[in-house]
Structure 1
Amino acid sequence: MNCNQHAAETEPKSTVETIQTEILRRICFLDYQPGDQLKEAELAAEFGVSRTPVRDAISRISHLGLVETRNGVGTVVVALTAAKIRHVYDMRLELAALIGTMSPCAITDADRHAGRELLQNAQALSHDFDPRRYVEVNHRLHRLIASLIGNSALKSFWWQTYYQAASTWYRVGNQMGPEVALALVAELEDINTALENNDTAAVGFIQRTHIGYGYQRIKTHLLSPEA
């Protein structure tokens, strides 16, 4: 399928989308910790807007279960429960298998170049690990995978579950260190083989496999045995 796979990155975002993306990034990188309050007035001043687009952005994020409004407190960042994490990963496993079957975009030379660059970044992390750079490489990998998805509804759900899961990677990375970088290297080696062979379906199945591995690490290091 021929599709403009980078349109989402090149088209200008609305003010609400820009604010939403930045708040989500801060949650994913744990710049905003569970329990931190999102203050509309401060965010409005930071972005140079009225409170309305800030409120709209926070409302969108609330649907992901990452923030909630508490009486007498305001809007605060919340950690996903073990059950919610399980539900998110169950969904991610199902979505990954659809990447190569629901209107996939053609793999380009730019995609292959991006994959090789990400592999080099992951290899560097395995020798000099930094949890923040680990999350950044994961984010860029996710953006590459999303660019191969031609079905807009599937892409939307893929991004949604990514944001719900991302902060858990940072927490696992802090605990496991270079071990998670080695796992990322293995994932990117598989992804690069699929890209070189123009096999989008294989990309989806590789993602499904490594999402499963990632969830096992989360259960081992973050969740109680009965979760």
Structure 2
Amino acid sequence: MTTRSESGKTTVEAIQSEIIRRICFLDYPPGCQLKEAELAEEFGVSRTPVRDAISRIKHLGLVRTRNGVGTVVVTLSRKQIGHVYEMRLELATMIGTMSPREVSDQDRARIAELLGAAVDLEADFDARTYVELNDRLQKLIADLIGNSLLRTFWRQAYYQAASTWYRVATLAGPEVAASLVQELGELKQAIDQGDIAAVGYVQRVQIGYGYRRVRQYLYSEAEDLYSEAEAG
């Protein structure tokens, strides 16, 4: 599959986005090796943009280069996941205070569409669709953040957290869809009123709920998904 930009040229950003998507959906599970040559052939590019994309993903903590192995997908330890959620909780409080931008009609249309899709998901649950809707929601939240540095931190912490969501959704089932409907309903009210501070407040509450689910459904498993050995 070739991923191309609007100009028709394959981009590092597009390749990066697709690899991250595969990691979040466990299409590339922990331990999976990312082979530059194979990816370059798949995307129809030289190895240089693939290498650049993987380099960016390393900064997110989702892959790591290991001697004698190459670049592999890694999981975060319990401690690291805790740090990610602590950071996300703090970042959420800044959304409404650090250069928030004005809400547009397009933003209102996007949140309304997401809410409708979440209602449909609640009636017919699918874990993959749940993660896709969360991804679209977080892109909307990022677009509402006016401060570019805060936006960068928000996206980085989001991707690190998103690596756990598919498995949580698979284990928790429809209950996560119900929570998403509630979250989107509250966000729609805030966005319709142009209240970015309220958007941040809703996100902070929901991030806390999400972390509790991670601990409930993943940390309680006999297999330690976030073992320090895997992270190291």
Partner of 1:190: 186
Corresponding residue number in structure 2 for 1:6: none
> What residue in structure 2 maps to residue 22 of structure 1?
18
Aligned to 2:140: 144
Looking at structure 2, the residues matched to 13 and 96 of structure 1 have their Cα atoms a distance apart, in angstroms, of 35
Paired positions, count: 219
Uncovered stretches (5+) of structure 2, i.e. residues with no partner: 227-232
Structure 1, gaps ≥5 residues long: 1-8
In the alignment, what sits opposite 2:230?
none
CA offset at residue 15 of structure 1?
Answer: 2.2
Equivalent position to 2:71, from 59, 62, 75? 75
Q: Which segments of structure 1 move beyond 6 Å, counting only runs of 4 or more? A: 9-14
Give the equivalent residue in structure 1 for 2:115: 119
- For 1:177, the equivalent position in structure 2 comes to 173
SS in 2 for 1:97: helix
User: Relative to structure 1, is the Cα distance of residues 87 and 185 closer, same or farther in structure 2, using a 3 angstrom cutoff?
Assistant: same
Q: Does the aligned pair in 1 maintain the 2:122–2:174 contact within 8 Å?
A: yes
Residues 104-136 of structure 1 deviation map (CA, whole Å, 9 limit, x = unaligned): 111111111111111111111111000010011
TM-superposed CA distance for 1:203, in Å, is: 0.2
Q: Which letter maps to 2:20?
A: L
Deviations 1:20-76 (A, max 9, x none): 111111111211111111001001111222212211211111121111112221111
Contact 2:23 2:163 in 1 (8 A): yes
Cα distance, 1:89 vs structure 2: 0.5
- TM-score w.r.t. the length of structure 2 is 0.89
Matching residue within 154, 160, 164 for 2:160? 164
- Partner of 1:105, secondary structure, is coil
TM (norm. structure 1) is: 0.91
* Corresponding residue of 2:130: 134
